[in-house]
Amino acid sequence: MIIRIISLKGGIGKSTISAFLAKYLSEEGSSKVLLIDKDNLNFSSFLINILGAKVDINKEKLEGYDYIIIDYPTAEEKIESKDDDIVILVSDVVTLNLITKYAKELKGIKLLIVNMVSPLPGDLEEVNNMVEKLDFDLKFVIPFIPKVFSMPIRKDKRTEIPAIRELAKLIKEKIKEVQVERSFK
């Protein structure tokens, strides 16, 4: 399964999400995961090393993997996706409208992650209400987590993003259900 991770704006956590998703999918040793780090900063590869995850990075050979995660550079052109791909669109509140328009051109199971939202309950609730109306197969709103933000400096491999762990679980268990549902649409 190919998981494409895209954002229209830099600095909103796309590479962090890629690295954590790769880590969670590879956990318990049940799945082989490859991370293709296309971003110019190679930040997701850097984070994989900090997290110490059993994930292959940037291999030429693509066979034999259960999940191939592609961390794209901040999107300037359209990305070609297939119907059975998972496309994760990472956005902040500012680029939410743009990413929604952008997503319409893409194929595949589309997941939206609104990241780095102010963690205060009222702000989070407001963004949740905004996101609820949008047409994506799955939607996540993730608050700003100070520990994740400072992870590259603290190099703490115990850092967690519970929402991405949940996403990995859903991808492992439930994403097939989404595919079945879509085939009947």
Partner 1 sequence: MQRIREEILIFNIIIALAIISWFFFPIFEIKSINYGLSIIPLGFKIQLFTQQYLLISPLTIAGIAFLILSAIIPLVWTSSRYSLYTSLSALSFGIVMIINTFIYQQRYLHFYGYSVLPTSTGYFYILFPSSTIYGLPLYLIIASFVISILNAATRARWLYPRRLTLLEKLYSELQRGEVIKGLQSLINSLGIYATVEGNVAKVEDLVLTKANRIEELPSDVSIFFPKGEQIIIGDRKVVYIDKEGNVEYLNLNEGVKLALTKIIEKVNFNNLSTNEKLYK
Q: Which residues bind partner 1 (CB under 8 A)?
A: 118-123, 125, 143-150, 156, 160
The nearest distance, CB 32 to partner 1, in angstroms, is 30
Tokens of 150: 């400072």
The nearest distance, CB 161 to partner 1, in angstroms, is 10
Decide whether 97 or 118 has the Cβ nearer to partner 1: 118
Decide whether 52 or 146 has the Cβ nearer to partner 1: 146
Q: Convert 19-52 to b/e letters by CB count within 10 Å (16 or more is b).
A: bbbbbbbbeeeebebbbbbebeeebbbebbeebe
The nearest distance, CB 158 to partner 1, in angstroms, is 9
The nearest distance, CB 28 to partner 1, in angstroms, is 22
28 contacts: CB under 8 Å, gap ≥ 6: none
121 contacts: CB under 8 Å, gap ≥ 6: none
Decide whether 70 or 116 has the Cβ nearer to partner 1: 116
The nearest distance, CB 150 to partner 1, in angstroms, is 6
Decide whether 156 or 181 has the Cβ nearer to partner 1: 156
CA-based Rg of the chain, rounded to a whole angstrom?
Answer: 16
Q: How far apart are CA 33 and CA 60, in angstroms?
A: 14
Decide whether 58 or 118 has the Cβ nearer to partner 1: 118
79 contacts: CB under 8 Å, gap ≥ 6: 4, 6, 72, 87, 106
